[in-house]
Amino acid sequence: MTVKNLFEKTIVSGLLLAASLFIPSGLTAQDSPEKPAFSIHPLFSDHAVLQQGLTVPVWGTAEPGKKITVSFGDQTVEGKADEAGQWMVALKPLTASAEGADLVAKSNGTEITVTDMLVGEVWVCSGQSNMAWSVSRTTDAEKIAEEAKAKKFDGIRLFKVPVAGADERQKTVEASWALPKPNTIANFSATGFYFGRALHRDKDVPVGLIQSANGGTNAYSWINSNTLNDDEVAETIRTYWAGMVEKGPAALERFEKQKQAWIDGGKKGRAPREPMHAGHAKRPAGHYNAMIAPLQPYAIQGVIWYQGEANSRPPFVTEYRDLMFALAKDWRYDWHHATHWNRGPKDAAERPRMFPFYIVQLPNYEPGAAWPIIREQMLKFWQDGENTGTIVSIDVGDATDIHPQNKLPIGERLARFARANAYGDDIVYSGPVYDSMMAADGKVTLTFKHTGGSLKSRDGEPLRHFEVAGGDGNFVPAEAVIEGDHLIVSARDIAEPRAVRYAWKPNPENINFVNGEDLPASPFRTDSWDLLE
Q: pLDDT, tens digit, for every residue of 282-300?
A: 999 999 999 999 999 999 9
pTM for the predicted model, two decimal places: 0.91
pLDDT given for residue 31 in this prediction: 44
pLDDT given for residue 296 in this prediction: 97
As beta bridge partners, residue 71 has 76, 104
H or E element that contains 260: helix 235-264
User: Distance (Å, rounded) from C-alpha 152 to C-alpha 171?
Assistant: 34
User: Distance (Å, rounded) from C-alpha 364 to C-alpha 394?
Assistant: 5
Q: What sections of 403-517 are H helices per DSSP?
A: 408-421
pLDDT given for residue 348 in this prediction: 54
pLDDT given for residue 244 in this prediction: 82
Q: pLDDT, tens digit, for every residue of 297-343?
A: 999 999 999 999 999 988 899 999 999 999 999 999 999 988 654 34
pLDDT given for residue 408 in this prediction: 99
User: Distance (Å, rounded) from C-alpha 473 to C-alpha 504?
Assistant: 14
Q: Which amino acid is present at 329?
A: K
Residue 266, judged by CB atoms within 10 A of its CB (0-12, 13-18, 19+), counts as exposed
pLDDT given for residue 26 in this prediction: 35
pLDDT given for residue 327 in this prediction: 98
Instruction: Give me the residues of the chain with pLDDT under 70, please.
Output: 6-34, 339-349, 533
